[in-house]
Amino acid sequence: MTRWKLTIEYDGRPFAGWQRQGEGLTTVQGALEDAVFAFSGERVTVHGAGRTDAGVHARGQVAHIDLLKDTTASVVRDAVNAHLRPHPVAVLHAEAVGADFEARFGATRRAYRYIIVNRRAPLTVEAGLAWQVPVALDADAMQAGAQHLIGRHDFTTFRAAQCQAKSPVRSVDEITVTRDGDRIVIDVAARSFLHSQVRAFAGSLKLVGEGRWLPDEIAAALSARDRSRCGPVAPPDGLALMQVDY
């Protein structure tokens, strides 16, 4: 038996999230498991590094599978991709790894990116891949507010009500807000995240960018440990899992 590490890209719009769910719901995990079965004849579990929500994308999701079939990395990649069609999912790389490799529990850092397109004109090419905000945003103020989120904190304010994590305490290693023309990019890195945490960050930082909150109000919301103090949660469109480190 060989354990394979897969690096995966997908457009999250057609899916009810990463995690396999009930009958009639299409998920990224389910599509991958069906493709692996079609290629190998083996029913396997695809273990992902992050359970992205419905509509959330990935450019660098990582997963692992165990296969009895004797094959090569290039065959795993190409055969699974052939059977994934027409789903917007692609295995970018396949690599044989040791039996102790764990895509989820072995990850030391996950990096997410949230993209806002700050213009009045509607989105065309990036429709469904970014959040269009027509009101002018101050990215420098958003960056100042974001710095209050770095470090180890109780993130109850920025945690979805349905979050199943045992603790709301997490350590955010890095968060930056940058502007390039009409695009505002929020990059966040941490070992692990709470349910909808990055989208909650993005929605609250938008209020700072609009001038409705001062940057320090991010710190006040965080300290409150109260979900009602969070800004409106940003839509999934602009969020992507960019990279997972081990």
User: Does 53 qualify as catalytic in the annotation?
Assistant: yes
CA dihedral 20, 106, 162, 150 (to 10 degrees): -140
φ/ψ (deg, to 5) at 133: -120, 115
11, 34, 53, 226: which one is catalytic?
53
Name which of 81, 80, 85, 82 is nearest 69 in CA terms. 80
Annotated catalytic residues are: 53
